[in-house]
Each structure stands twice: as C-alpha cells, then as structure tokens.
Amino acid sequence: MTRGASSCHTATHRENWWHEHLLFRLKNGIAIPHPGEELEFEMFWKPQNRDAWKYELSRRLSALVISMQQTKIITELKPPSSEDLALLGRAKAYEHLDSRELKLLHLILLFGRWPRPVATSGDAAQRFGYYTNAIPPEHFDLLASNAAIAKHVLSWIRKEKELAGIPNTVKKGAKGGASRNADQVHQDVRWDHLDYLDNMESMPSKAKGARTILRRRLYKYAMQDAKRLVAAVAWMKRDREYPLLPADYPRIVNKFRP
C-alpha cells in the first residue's frame, strides 16, 4: 500500500515500497503511523509488519549469503540450498502479493508456528528454527514461590539463548529488575536494514565491525523462518490457479505445525 494507491497491494515500480506506504512512515528505520492513521495502522498494518519484513528479508537472503561468504563471516547455521535461495530471490515484493498469496503467507508464518514457544519433539525443534534442548528432568518444590521457580527456569533459558547466540529479549532495568517491552517484536523490525542489504557496500569501510554484526543478526532472523518462507513461495507458484478456501486452512496449518 503506497501513498496515493487505490488498493492495499497495488503494484509499484519501487522495490523498497516501505518508503511510500499509505499507513506508515519510518522513524529510525521503524514503522510508525502517519498522523491521523494511528487506528488503521494498529488494526491493518501492525499485525503484518513483522511477517512483511521477514518476507522481504528472505528475498534478500541470497545476496546476504554471498556477501557473508565473500567477507568470510562464519556462521553455524547452514543456508538453504542454492535452488531455494533462487526461489526466494525471484519472489514478488510483499506489496505486490495478491490477497490469496498474502493469506497463504500468513497462514504458514503465523498459524504454522503453533504452538510457537514450545516444540514437543526433537524433530519439530530441528525443523522449525531455534529451540532449546529438552528441558532437564528437575523437580520443583510446590511450596516455593512462583517467582523463585520462574527465576530458575529463566536462568536456564538464558543459558540456552547464549549457546545459540540469540540476544535475550528481557533486559535488566535500572533497578536490576526485569524490564519487559510488550512491543519488542515490532521494535526489532528495522526496515532500514533492508535498505542496507540492497546497498551493502555503501556503509563506510571504517564500520566493518558494525557491518559484520548486522549481517550476522539479519542472517539469524532470516533463517528462523527460511524453511517456511521457501514453502510459502513454492505454494504460491504451485497453487496459483486454485482459490484458497477456509477448508484448506487445516491442511496448510497441520503441514507446518510442530
């Protein structure tokens, strides 16, 4: 949806469509509503902001992988096959997806993660991105406070995140207490990072360390949903001539459910 467009997904010639969106503008790379569009932004754009960003990031994954290989940035996460990278690279811009393709994409990315925080099998943990090792067999005192039990479990989760190289989303506040940002996922989506991927060599050479850190982070984000996004794009191409009906939802969701 670009400013002046009559349809939510009218095709434009701009690849970086997020700079001319009808509902939001960018502030420090983060989407915020245009004045007077706050309600529409909250209702219509914010729920899809992260998925739209992830989708556009995946379209740039091939260029990111090549850049990391050329600059010898080492990562333990194996990239998708060259065929899958090419498939993602040829995908249409998010702004150009029709209503059926959008519905399919969000089914796979949103409902397909259910239950997102927990995988009940090792196989699911391997197929669906970052998950911890199985929780160790421990016994808790039922008379202990919930806070004490939660503190112990969260300590283990933090160690697992450190091993996986994932930053903790719960940060220490000024008084040493846990500070939670309910809008954290939205704030993590930086659209200017996609602009950077389109112009990776524009950053000054003196910022080499910052470029390496950013590429690593974006690669990890991309790999979290790479398999699902490859599947989504493949399904868009394969089933384009068939309407997506509510009766199809369970089949799609179950295919990607842990």
Tens of pLDDT along 227-257?
A: 888 888 887 776 555 555 556 666 665 565 5
- What is the SS3 assignment for 10? coil
The tens-digit pLDDT sequence of the chain (258 residues) is 554 333 333 333 357 899 999 999 999 999 999 999 999 999 999 988 999 999 999 999 999 998 888 888 877 778 889 999 999 999 999 999 988 888 888 877 765 554 455 555 555 455 445 567 777 788 888 888 888 888 888 888 888 877 766 666 544 444 444 444 434 445 578 999 999 888 876 665 556 777 888 888 899 889 888 888 888 888 777 655 555 555 666 666 556 554
Q: Is 144 inside a domain boundary?
A: no
Nearest of 181, 154, 155, 186 to residue 169 by alpha carbon: 181
pLDDT for position 70: 84
Q: Is 118 inside a domain boundary?
A: yes
Beta strands in the chain (DSSP E): 24-27, 30-33, 171-172, 178-179
pLDDT for position 7: 35
Q: Read off the pLDDT of residues 104-128 as tens digits, 9 standing for 90 and up.
A: 888 777 655 544 555 555 554 554 4
DSSP letters along 83-120, please? HHHHHHHTSPPGGG--HHHHHHHHHHHTGGG-STT--S
pTM score: 0.65
Q: Is 143 inside a domain boundary?
A: no
Domain that holds residue 90: 17-130+166-256
pLDDT for position 167: 62
Q: Is 25 inside a domain boundary?
A: yes
Say how many domains are in the chain.
1
Peptide bond before residue 117 is cis, with ω within 30 degrees of 0: no
The pair of structure tokens assigned to 113 is: 């993660």
Q: Is 147 inside a domain boundary?
A: no
Distance of CA 69 to the CA centre of its chain: 22
Q: Is 192 inside a domain boundary?
A: yes
